């Protein structure tokens, strides 16, 4: 065999497995996207009565809008408007600054996990929404438009990027999710470092089968309110 042809033969032989893996990954991402859009669309239709009731209850129990919009970081570091049912008082940012400025223990807890075990910003009905995870129902619309997926790392705010350090680009090489390894592994009961490790693990090991396993664990985690705050 001619040397140049022989070299070309081995080059093709080596590249074929890589090409097949890329083709498989593309097909899986396409299947993931089709699942996201179709399932989110069906859920929105089925849950419309519940969504309307929740909006009415939020509006009647506390002055202010029913929906809360916050810019979050998604795949590739892109910012998008993430929607939730409002669970906090309208001056939540000011209330947080007052608390961490006057309570060292709360300030440390917030610095460690970006969560508070006793959060004065959360309304009475908002606490129920958070414990039940119903506050995240509006993110079904984020899934439909492609900002999010059903499974992936939770979208973060810009201030949290530095917490991911060098792992940020890898963790958010996949779309953020409504649920993920962190949610089914204890959520707020985990340290932030553990959260980053779980997001990195998901990005490394992602497959449709892993998504299916996480989705299967999500309902029990929500019903048992594991790590919810």
Segment 81-92 shows an average pLDDT of 88
Rounded average pLDDT over 38-43:
97
- Of 163, 205, 137, 168, the C-alpha closest to 74 is 168
Task: Return the pLDDT at 226.
Answer: 64
Into how many domains does the chain fold?
1
Residue range 121-133, pLDDT digits in tens: 888 898 899 888 8
Q: How confident is the model at residue 5 (pLDDT cuts 50, 70, 90)?
A: low
Per-residue pLDDT reduced to its tens digit, 187-215: 767 888 999 999 999 999 999 999 999 99
pLDDT of residue 144: 97
Q: Are 73 and 153 in contact (CB under 8 A)?
A: no
Beta strands in the chain, from DSSP E residues, in sequence order: 67-73, 79-85, 149-151, 177-179
The residues, any chain, with a CB within 8 Å of residue 211's CB and separated by 6 or more, are: 32, 150, 151
Residue 93 located in a structural domain: no
Instruction: Report the greatest alpha carbon distance in the chain.
Output: 81
d(CA 141, CA 29): 19
Q: Which of 26-35, 96-105, 205-214, 216-225 has the lowest mean pLDDT?
A: 96-105
- The answer to whether residue 25 sits within a structural domain is yes
pLDDT at 115: 74
pTM of the predicted protein model:
0.80
Provide the residue range defining the domain that includes 77: 21-87+122-223
Classify residue 77: in a domain, yes or no: yes
Residue 84: both structure tokens together: 């939730």
Treating both helix axes as pointing N-terminal to C-terminal, what angle do 92-102 and 104-113 enclose, rounded to 10 degrees? Answer: 120
Quick check: is 217 in a domain?
yes
The mean predicted confidence, pLDDT, of the chain is 85
**What is the rounded distance in angstroms from the CA atom of residue 95 to the CA atom of residue 89?**
9
Rounded distance between C-alpha atoms, residue 223 and residue 220, angstroms: 5
Tokens of 2: 């001619």
- Asked if residue 168 belongs to a domain, the reply is yes
**At 116, is the pLDDT very low, low, confident or very high (cuts 50, 70, 90)?**
confident
Q: Are 67 and 88 in contact, with CB atoms under 8 Å apart?
A: no
Residue 99's pLDDT is: 75
Domain membership of residue 61 (yes or no) is yes
- Does some domain include residue 149? yes
Residue 216 lies in a domain: yes
* Residues listed for the chain: 229
DSSP calls for 107-139: HHHHHHHS--SS-TTB-HHHHHHHHHTGGGTTH
Would you state the pLDDT for residue 19? Answer: 64
């Amino acid at each position: 065999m001619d040397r140049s042809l022989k070299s070309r033969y081995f080059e093709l032989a080596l590249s074929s497995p890589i090409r097949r893996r890329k083709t498989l990954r593309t097909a899986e991402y396409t299947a993931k996207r089709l699942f996201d859009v179709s399932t989110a669309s069906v859920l929105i239709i089925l849950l419309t009565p519940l969504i309307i009731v929740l909006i009415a209850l939020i509006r009647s129990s506390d002055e202010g809008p029913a929906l809360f919009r916050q810019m979050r970081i998604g795949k590739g570091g892109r910012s998008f408007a993430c929607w939730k049912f409002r669970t906090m008082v309208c001056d939540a940012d000011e209330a947080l600054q007052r608390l961490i400025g006057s309570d060292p223990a709360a300030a440390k807890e917030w610095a460690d996990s970006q969560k508070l075990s006793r959060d004065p910003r959360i309304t009475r009905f908002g606490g129920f929404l958070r414990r039940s995870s119903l506050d995240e129902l509006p993110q079904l619309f984020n899934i439909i438009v492609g900002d999010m997926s059903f499974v992936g790392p939770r979208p973060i705010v810009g201030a949290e990027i530095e917490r991911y350090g060098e792992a940020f680009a890898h963790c958010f090489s996949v779309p953020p999710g409504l649920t993920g390894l962190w949610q089914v592994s204890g959520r707020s009961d985990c340290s932030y470092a553990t959260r980053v490790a779980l997001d990195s693990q998901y990005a490394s090991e992602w497959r449709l089968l892993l998504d299916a396993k996480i989705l299967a664990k999500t309902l029990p985690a929500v019903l048992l309110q594991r790590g919810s705050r």
